[in-house]
A and B are shown apart, each in its own frame.
Chain A
């Protein structure tokens, strides 16, 4: 029962939604719309589940004194501060929440992302090497795009941006299309496996 009932729910809901997509009759549309509204409600609830999980995982890290457990304390303190500022001190209109968002969250997020520039530079020096003909081709394309996508490329040679557009529109698009078709066919087959109950790993490892 523990496995059969979820399989029936998935089969029924999944195929109903597919049928409703192709049959634009009022009744079908009303029910599918109700399902969609339920889904958005459930997803919103997942935020709450996510917070609970975050608290549980980090509390365990602190209790067990695992590596870098001190960062978990900082995380939990700021999680609490942001929640109090958001819920009880005027929400997004509250000055404390906006102050924390503008002066902590934005600079910290931007800092983490900007570190990539340094690591990319180091990786370009050590790893981006023409070891094979394929790697050489990739390297040439990368250099063209890197130079042609910034104003200095246009300054060096006015034809650089057009060359970049060609790389993007022809070889890049052709390769991406191939990948997309392959991935989407795999997605359809996976969805069918889930709906038909062949693929059951999403239910976890519970027993009957």
Chain B
């Protein structure tokens, strides 16, 4: 019983240390665990595959550095797929730091496919206003977006001139970490203009999206780093997300072990009473 009592009062720094070790060791010694593909991720992939060359995809980077670890790999994998399929990317951000993070991904991926700024992709930067801005954007893009993120008028770019309203947009991909984000795209863009919406969210937000997948308002979902890893596997671009899966696997196993130990303590205390 002494051992159980000692466990009950385990210094939380030991728990922190174990989590730290569980994160670091798989990074140094990769396990190479297989990544299975879930249906919501495959549905996003299939939708992108079904679009014809030159289709316009809005990529909305609705996150900030706090969620960068989960959503940036999804941004890169999705952009890679778009450029490989010769789709045109219209990027914006509903969060102030989102379009900057999106721009980092664009600058990383676009040159690999010889894509030209303004012709194949454009970044119009942070757009405040949340839901009302989305309604206006769908009705008339020029009401909301007059310049790109550098301040250059968007009608000086071929892609800027091509996107006039929601009718010109074939797919919206929102990389969402909260509010404003995926929910607003569904309510104020999909419901109003019928544009298909896909999303990548943080793992904690993923369960909230399932009612919208089942109702057909969302075509698919990349949930957390696992969703990004699945997409990387589908586009055959094994990068940060797949690399992070070993650490996440071991930490999850460790958490389950903690839960089991915690409950053993509970039952032994009950028996003692």
Contact = CB atoms under 8 A, between A and B. Distances in A.
A47 interface: yes
A53 B211 CA distance: 38
A126 B35 CA distance: 31
Interface string A75-115: 00000000000000001110000000110011111101110
Contact of A125 (B10, B20, B133, B139): B10
B169 to A, nearest CB: 18
Contact of A40 (B64, B132, B208, B251): B132
B97 interface: yes
Interface string B33-74: 111101100000000000000000000000011111100000
A193 interface: no
Interface string B128-155: 1110110110011001100001110000
B100 A125 contact: no
A110 B16 contact: no
B129 A152 contact: no
B25 interface: no
B263 interface: yes
Given A117-B251, A125-B261, A152-B250, A161 B38 contact: yes
A147 B226 contact: no
B255 A172 contact: no
Given A92-B150, A143-B256, A33 B136 contact: yes
A141 B252 CA distance: 14
B207 A149 contact: no
Nearest to A102: B104
Contacts of A108: 65
Interface stretch (A60-68, A127-135, A194-202): A127-135
Contacts of B128: 40, 43-44, 46-47
Given A124-B259, A129-B266, A172-B207, A147 B253 contact: yes
B133 A139 contact: no
Kindly state the interface size class of chain A when it binds its partner.
35 or more
A130 B262 CA distance: 9
Contact of B66 (A43, A112, A124, A147): A112
Given A40-B136, A43-B128, A169 B214 contact: yes
Nearest to A29: B139
A189 interface: no
A130 B264 CA distance: 10
A121 B10 CA distance: 13
A127 to B, nearest CB: 8
Given A43-B128, A161-B38, A173 B15 contact: no
Contact of A91 (B38, B150, B253): B150
Contacts of A37: 136, 143-144
Given A40-B129, A91-B150, A105-B97, A150 B262 contact: no
B119 to A, nearest CB: 19
Interface of B: 10, 12, 15-16, 18-20, 23, 33-36, 38-39, 64-69, 96-97, 100-101, 103-104, 125, 127-130, 132-133, 135-136, 139-140, 143-144, 149-151, 203, 206-208, 210-211, 214, 223-224, 226, 229, 245-246, 248-256, 258-259, 261-263, 266
Given A120-B255, A149-B252, A150-B249, 18 more contacts: A36-B132, A37-B143, A92-B125, A93-B150, A102-B104, A109-B66, A110-B69, A113-B69, A118-B16, A124-B262, A125-B258, A146-B252, A149-B203, A149-B226, A154-B33, A155-B249, A168-B210, A176-B211
24 contacts: A33-B140, A33-B143, A36-B143, A37-B144, A44-B128, A91-B151, A92-B103, A102-B104, A108-B65, A110-B68, A114-B69, A121-B254, A124-B259, A125-B15, A125-B258, A130-B263, A130-B266, A150-B226, A150-B245, A151-B36, A153-B252, A168-B207, A168-B210, A176-B210
